[in-house]
Amino acid sequence: MANHTHTFDKTALSGVRVLIVDDEPVLASTFCLVLQLAGAYARSAEHGALALATLETERFDLILCDKHMPVMTGPEFIRELNRRGDTTPILLFINAADYSSMEQIRDLRIDGTLAKPLLPAELVQAIRETLRRNA
């Protein structure tokens, strides 16, 4: 039987500031906790409009954004960031079973997609790789 220990370096994201934009409170809290355990500062907003307000007063190194949210969807939020000239790296969460997702996000300036569900170590690794590519 394979060892499914999913660990990561507790300083893997030391000093990194991440904004999580997701309307599912349990997932947002879980992502925040995982990132904090990896050394990051993580804050969440439950939809794009709240995330825009947060970005007025705080700077982040990376944004994790869900695609489907009320008030302002992930693509609407990202288009507004693009309009404002914000170049913060963005990873967009998509549902692995939603095959139409790729067509719907083709025109967005994003740095990658992450299919939910994902393991904590996969999340940390995706953030590290994205930050490395954007350094």
Kindly report, residue by residue over 13-72, the tens digit of the pLDDT.
Answer: 999 999 999 999 999 999 999 999 999 999 999 999 999 999 999 999 999 999 888 888
Distance between CA atoms of residues 24 and 34, nearest Å: 15
Q: What architecture is the 17-133 domain classified under in CATH?
A: 3-Layer(aba) Sandwich (3.40)
For tokens 């804050």, what's the residue?
43
Q: What are the sequence ranges of the domains in the chain?
A: 17-133
pLDDT reported for residue 107: 77
DSSP 3-state assignment of 113?
strand
Asked if 105 contacts 58 with a C-beta cutoff of 8 angstroms, the reply is no
pTM for the whole structure? 0.89
